[in-house]
């Protein structure tokens, strides 16, 4: 049997799972110890090369029409695993700017568009996991914080990237003042623990180290169904209609900020499970709620008033809003 190509590469714990296509026309799943992975390098390299010009042939506008996570995992990460760092960086840059140039509506495009618009230099990401968002973002200085990185091939500090494997609370308490730019970090992307309490704490700590013109972008501000909005992942998983997507009750942080912070502009883009935008400045409008009232807003109450509670905005609004600066 000869291996003709690789259909899928999955990183699961201490194993690498490959779905291969043989010359017999069959698909076979192999589990490989990472120590033996280099033996498959030539085959994987060929598979990647066959896909290297994917961005020229795609003709799609809807984010849901393509799984960029799959492209990252199957066709870009192999470069990193084989030690081809320059090729990996080139491909990951192509991926983000393919999305920007084709006006895809997701968190990566929001962050990169803001960086490019304001010529921002520094970027902090809270909740990095596999590095899917972190490596795509193009900035001169990048800081990654996660209590348990799951980056295939590992991670290491470089001149423009630093990694902190710890809780975000520990980072802000022990390292932020020492390592972040003295004038403040230009943009913070929050995608950590999806609870009201932690996401609010992440915003409050980020504001302490944010540059005067800086932005905070926050993911998962608009859950797509009731199970995804539950306060804990454990509760969500137990729900019979849980579909694997958990946004938590991060939306309550948006509502809290719009109620109690009179010096912040806060809005949520109606895309990619809700992308929050926070910056210093005059609020567009405010809410008048108590903390208990905010805590009692469940998914169904949110849906009844989502435009008002979240200051929900369209993608067209975001494009026009950026152009006014």
Query: What pLDDT score does 2 carry?
Result: 57
Query: What pLDDT score does 34 carry?
Result: 60
Domain with CATH 3.40.50.150 in the chain: 107-323
Band (pLDDT 50/70/90 cuts) for residue 26 is low
Q: For the domain 107-323, what is the CATH superfamily, name and number?
A: Vaccinia Virus protein VP39 (3.40.50.150)
Compute the distance between CA of residue 207 and CA of residue 319 in angstroms, rounded to an integer. Answer: 24
CA dihedral of 39, 43, 46, 50, whole degrees rounded to 10: -140
Give the tens place of pLDDT for each residue, 182-191.
999 999 999 9
Alpha helices in 25-81 (DSSP H): 41-50, 54-57, 68-71, 77-81
Query: What pLDDT score does 126 carry?
Result: 98
Is the confidence at residue 167, as pLDDT, over 70? yes
pTM (predicted TM-score): 0.82
Per DSSP bridges, beta strands 312-313 and 141-146 are: unpaired
Query: What pLDDT score does 56 carry?
Result: 36
Average pLDDT over every residue of 226-234? 94
Return the higher-pLDDT residue of 198 and 150: 198
Query: What pLDDT score does 80 carry?
Result: 85
Give the tens place of pLDDT for each residue, 44-90.
555 545 444 444 344 444 444 457 887 887 778 888 887 888 999 99
Q: Of 293, 104, 318, whose CA–CA distance to 217 is shortest?
A: 318
Q: Locate 161 and state its tokens.
A: 């990237």
Is the confidence at residue 274, as pLDDT, over 90? yes
Average pLDDT over every residue of 227-237? 94
Band (pLDDT 50/70/90 cuts) for residue 12 is low
Query: What pLDDT score does 62 carry?
Result: 45
Give the tens place of pLDDT for each residue, 258-273.
999 999 999 999 999 9
Q: Which segments within the chain are labelled E, that is strand?
A: 3-12, 15-22, 27-32, 122-126, 141-146, 161-165, 185-190, 210-218, 264-269, 275-280, 312-313
């Amino acid at each position: 049997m000869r291996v003709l190509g690789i259909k899928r590469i999955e990183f699961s714990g201490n194993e690498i799972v490959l779905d291969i296509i043989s010359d017999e026309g069959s698909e076979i799943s192999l589990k490989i110890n990472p120590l033996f992975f280099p033996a498959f390098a030539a085959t994987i390299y060929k598979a990647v090369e066959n896909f290297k010009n994917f961005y020229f042939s795609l003709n799609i506008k809807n984010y849901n029409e393509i799984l960029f996570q799959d492209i990252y995992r199957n066709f870009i990460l192999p470069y990193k695993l084989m030690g081809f760092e320059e090729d990996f960086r080139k491909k990951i840059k192509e991926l983000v700017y393919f999305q920007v140039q084709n006006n895809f509506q997701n968190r990566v495009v929001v962050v990169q568009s803001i960086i490019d618009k304001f010529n921002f230099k520094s970027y902090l990401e809270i909740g990095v996991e596999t590095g899917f968002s972190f490596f795509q973002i193009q900035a001169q200085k990048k800081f990654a914080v996660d209590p348990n990185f799951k980056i295939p091939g590992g991670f290491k500090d470089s001149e423009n990237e630093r990694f902190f494997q710890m809780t975000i609370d520990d980072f802000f308490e022990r390292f932020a003042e020492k390592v972040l730019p003295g004038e403040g970090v230009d943009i913070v992307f929050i995608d950590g623990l999806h609870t009201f309490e932690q996401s609010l704490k992440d915003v409050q700590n980020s504001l302490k180290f944010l540059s005067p013109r800086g932005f905070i972008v926050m993911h998962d501000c608009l859950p797509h169904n009731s199970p995804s909005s539950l306060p804990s992942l454990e509760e969500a998983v137990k729900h019979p209609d849980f579909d694997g997507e958990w946004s938590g009750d991060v939306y309550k942080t948006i509502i809290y900020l719009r109620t109690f912070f009179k010096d912040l502009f806060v809005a949520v883009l109606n895309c990619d499970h809700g992308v929050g935008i926070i910056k210093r400045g005059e609020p567009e409008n405010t809410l008048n709620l108590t903390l208990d009232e905010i805590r009692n807003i469940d998914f169904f109450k949110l849906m009844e008033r989502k435009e008002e509670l979240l200051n929900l905005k369209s993608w067209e609004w975001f494009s026009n809003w950026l152009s006014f600066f």
